[in-house]
Amino acid sequence: MTNQHPLTDELLQQIGCSNPRARVFDTQAMRAAYDRGRDEQLEQVMKWIEEELPNYAYKIEGSTYLDEDFIYKDLKEAMRPQEDNS
């Protein structure tokens, strides 16, 4: 797996940036890039919740509770992975 930025030259062209190597992008391309990033982030959060939420549930006297403090902390860490510099 490479550490290529998700906003590739090909993707920039798809969202309307005529010259992806230019230092200045038009507002339409920037908005499209922002929207795509936001949508991908939401998908990541939803997948994390689906897979991980059961790990934060516990039962007391028949009622189910969630450990919210750890959910927020761990979700934040999962959405901001550290780069491996080894």
Mean pLDDT of 60-77: 89
Q: Which residues constitute the domain of residue 26?
A: 9-79
Mean pLDDT of 16-43: 75
Question: How far apart are alpha carbons 86 and 84 in whole angstroms?
Answer: 6
Mean pLDDT of 27-42: 81
**What are the φ and ψ backbone dihedral angles of 28, each rounded to 5 degrees?**
-65, -45
User: Do residues 57 and 35 touch, judged by C-beta distance below 8 A?
Assistant: no
Q: How many domains does the chain have?
A: 1
Q: Is residue 21 part of a domain?
A: yes
Question: Over the chain, what is the mean pLDDT?
Answer: 79
Q: Is residue 3 part of a domain?
A: no
Mean pLDDT of 15-25: 66
**Which pLDDT does position 1 carry in this prediction?**
43
Question: How far apart are alpha carbons 64 and 67 in whole angstroms?
Answer: 10
